[in-house]
Amino acid sequence: MAIYSIGQLSKLTHCKIPTIRYYEQIGLLEQAMRSAGNQRRYNQDHLQRLAFIRHSRALGFNLEEIKQLIHLQTCAAHSPHEAHQIAQTHLIDVQQKIKQLQALETELKNMVGSCHQGDPYQCQVLAALNELPE
């Protein structure tokens, strides 16, 4: 079985060393074994778990959701449909954020587009920011 130092694990997973330590501290990643010199030593299970965490984070799952997903992955007493529900709820949140960002984009486009109108010495962006929201 391959053994990795924290630096090697960091390079393989593109995860910063302080983040790996933090994930250990909060229980997302199992505590590493220690060498005779008290250096952390990670195995393939750590590598796979950290890859799972990184992929989950890239998809926007928060740490609590990831904890739940890890628990579902390791506990036979739960239904796999629970993971589906977590992902479904997250998808709805992402879709709402996309709608909010699209509204923000429209407002900013209108603001930026208005700069070519009116008094060339007065910035229309600043005037628009002074308006009360509807």
Contact 9, 15 (CB under 8 A): yes
pLDDT tens for residues 97-125? Answer: 999 999 999 988 888 777 766 666 666 77
How would DSSP label each residue in 34-90?
E-TT--EEB-HHHHHHHHHHHHHHHTT--HHHHHHHHHHHH-TTS-THHHHHHHHHH
pTM, entire model: 0.78
pLDDT tens for residues 37-49? Answer: 888 999 999 999 9
What is the residue extent of each domain of the chain? 1-78, 79-134
In which element (H, E) is residue 103 found? helix 81-113
CA proximity to 109, closest of 96, 131, 124, 98: 124
CATH topology for the 1-78 domain: Multidrug-efflux Transporter Regulator; Chain: A; Domain 2 (1.10.1660)
Contact 43, 2 (CB under 8 A): yes
pLDDT tens for residues 5-37? Answer: 999 999 999 999 999 999 999 999 999 998 888
pLDDT tens for residues 54-71? Answer: 999 999 999 999 999 999
